[in-house]
Structure 1
Amino acid sequence: MKGLQWEHIESTSMKCEDLGLVESIDSLLYAVKKSKMGEDKVEIAVEIKYFSHEHDLKLIDEQLENDEKCDGCMWPIYPPFYTCTPCRFFLHKSCVELPTIKSHPLHRHPLALLPEPRDVDKYFVCNACRHNCNGFVYHCDKCNFDLDVQCSSMPDIFKHEGHEHRLILYSASNFEKCSSCDFGGQIFRCAHCEFTLDFKCVTLPLTTKYGPYGQSFALCYKVEDDYDDEYYCDICEEPRDPKHWFYYCGDIDFPAHPKCILGKNPLIKFGKTYKFDKHEHRLAFVDNSSKSIHPTCNECDVPCGDWTFECVKCNFNLHHWCL
């Protein structure tokens, strides 16, 4: 599932101040260990040491058979990408090459790239799309402001496939309703009509896979027909608003809500491990929401919630708030 391919029309140019966290916007976060000459006579780094991972990462230019997420942007991995296979650590090549400091029109201070959130529970809420995320974060220490990788990369003027006119980022503090989902938030506004898009909808992937056979679904912007007055999601079987965007597979005539296709937390990667002082082994971030009985926290003896940090080897579990 690839992200949107932007037609970049204009970007904001801002001077970055020294935050004391990184040297400059041009500093690299990786060191090249091995390289080769590409067909176009350009040197390609095939093995690197990335600053946030203990092992070397190797460049892969093939599609994976199983679904994996990029540990940077949290969207499904696609080639080319770097990986440490034993650790299930993956980074898109574009995420490896992210700038260490970014400026964004939604915030008045420069934002520094961090490999994980500073919060002890290891996830953050993006101030643009409002998704929970445990990937890389562009962060402002002064204001505790966070952007996920994809939202931070949005141009402020662009053309989206789902609308005929260009959209312009509206950076005012008051929220407006999105034309695609009716939720309020930071929005992009059409200069010619009343159409608006929030960050959650503007960053939806154009295609995704779902189902037992990995069927391909396309993001659709208009209702399927003009005569049917009842529209449903074939996953949750709840009604759909015909004015809202949805995913559709024509091969099996299957429409679905974006949240049902992508999940409640598309930018959370379960299974990521972290080291805490509370336990001798690394703890995995796990999802208990589908379990009928939740494990008991070893710190407070209270059943854990939907998200837990777990050591399978020791049958050890911790709440977020007990860290």
Structure 2
Amino acid sequence: MLAAAVLLLAVLGLASLALGARSVGWSTLLDAWLHADAADGDHAVVRARLPRTAVGVLVGLALGLAGAVMQGVTRNPLADPGILGVNAGAALAVVVAIAGFGVGSVSGYVWFAFAGAAAAAVLVYAVASLARAGATPLTLALAGAATSAGLVSLTNGLLVVSQDTFDRYRFWALGSVAVRSWDAVLDVLPFLVVGTLVALATARALNGLALGEDSARSLGQRPGVARAVAALSVVLLCGAATAVAGPIGFVGLVVPHAARSLVGGDHRWVLPVSAVLGAALLVGADTVGRVLLPPTEVQAGLMTALVGAPVFVWLVRRRTAVGL
């Protein structure tokens, strides 16, 4: 299944390079790689789409993987970076960076996004822990929804008082993988690589947590440490992804369900398959958004909801879906 997911991603990646307001043929796409001609307009189009496709792959991978880790560590099938407030925290921090510090580059956004994502994650867990039963899947979902609503309200409040901040923020907030250079990719790549490696390393610990804390301890695991490491990977992945592409939702919610339906509940397979499927979903959504209403395009953040919602409904209705 992992090989099939990689093949799907490769096909969608090629489609991302070939399709758009100005589409090119497959032969031209191949020629642009083998015999690049700077004077050829079609070759220039293909080269210009490379960073965009790379960002789509990296951001989709990060969000799909982060969603699988969050669902595993909270044992909550509704957990994802958007629902649990991580994306909203990162977005608020970016607005503060724009309004208060005049930050205007991804390399500047990323540190604020990390701080906002981490603060939101800690706040949600702290609020959920105040419940009599502690931080259960239900209390985490409720605390996340309430925290997200509060953070979005604060974000909107800051935008209302600053027209310049609003103008700079509104395009970023829709969620887009469109960039003009490789600078944005290089700014976040180290954080995404580290976050991915840390997340994949938590697979065995997540399998233990799925059996319950007592069972995990009997297997020699330390649930508190496992959750902290998993949370670190989520902050790295979501902070970097949000900084470069804006708050894109639905990827981290839908993709882990699809992965579990394909490979079962073993996180040693769920995590890598979720990463690849997340990249495929975002690249595919961005490509569809480019050809849906030419010559304009629909932002990837909007397309993931349009593409992901029917898939999620189908997964929910399947009686053979694998539980956490």
What TM-score do the two structures reach when normalised by structure 1?
A: 0.23
Higher strand proportion: 1
Give the TM-score of the pair, scaled to structure 2: 0.22
Considering Cα pairs closer than 8 Å and 6+ residues apart, tell me whether 1 or 2 has the greater RCO. 2
